[in-house]
Amino acid sequence: NAGVTQTPKFHILKIGQSMTLQCTQDMNHNYMYWYRQDPGMGLKLIYYSVGAGITDKGEVPNGYNVSRSTTEDFPLRLELAAPSQTSVYFCASSYDREDSPLHFGNGTRLTVT
Amino acid sequence: DAKTTQPNSMESNEEEPVHLPCNHSTISGTDYIHWYRQLPSQGPEYVIHGLTSNVNNRMASLAIAEDRKSSTLILHRATLRDAAVYYCILRDGDSSYKLIFGSGTRLLVRP
């Protein structure tokens, strides 16, 4: 049981390039989330999904896109990367109950230069 | 979304108990109180949650005020490994999918 797996662990991106951060979970969770965390700051919700085919914006969605074609996978796409997107990105998942804890991946550290 | 308020930082000595407070004066009847912690260079990890009654698990205890407007995470004997940022968040039954984290409390543990 791997839990939530994120790839890559680290990446350096040039300004204007695009890339996809991968997230997959093997717990059959309906809910999945993408957060970003800037140095010394708390987590900000980028996008979330309540099930396959359903996604919605969080607090800071600009510059990102997501898709949820399967229950397991929730990739985050960065289009036209900017230095402001330098951050650590965390994917999380949970059951669709208010007493269900979130399970987090180990994060992707992204630098845009 | 109901908000939580936590002190920015707290300090404790190793082997002593730690009480981490959280105010949530706008909590609704269906909101669960969740606590997570984030160790340096790691993703957040679940600690404990509760609705109305006090809760205990192997990591910590959660004390919830009778009016539910505040709660306290209790680490019974702090260790150096407990040095982390602790987040208190509310998860409600109507929109349990949308979880907003605050800034949390940074706990420093002195040897």
d(CA A97, CA A51): 13
How large is the average pLDDT for residues A22-29?
97
A39, closest residue in chain B (CA to CA): B41
Å between A82 CA and nearest CA of chain B = 23
Among residues of chain A, what percentage have pLDDT more than 70?
99
d(CA A1, CA A20): 24
Match 């059959």 to its residue by tokens: A28
Kindly give, in sequence order, each residue whose CB lies less than 8 Å from that of residue B21, ignoring residues fewer than 6 positions away. Answer: B6, B7, B70, B71, B72
- pLDDT for residue B93: 60
pLDDT for residue A57 is more than 80: yes
B72-108 pLDDT, tens digit each: 999 999 999 999 999 999 887 666 667 778 889 999 9
- pLDDT for residue A110: 97
Beta strands in chain A (DSSP E): 4-7, 10-13, 19-25, 31-37, 43-51, 54-57, 64-66, 76-78, 87-94, 103-104, 108-112
Tokens of B2: 């109901």
Nearest CB to B96: which of A41, A90, A97? A97
Tokens of A101: 């804890």
B101, closest residue in chain A (CA to CA): A43
- pLDDT for residue B96: 63
Å between A93 CA and nearest CA of chain B = 10
Kindly give, in sequence order, each residue whose CB lies less than 8 Å from that of residue B76, ignoring residues fewer than 6 positions away. Answer: B17, B60, B61
Q: Which chain A residues are Cβ-neighbours of B30 within 8 angstroms?
A: 98
SS3 label, residue A107 = coil
Query: Within an 8 Å CB–CB cutoff, is residue A41 touching chain B?
Result: yes
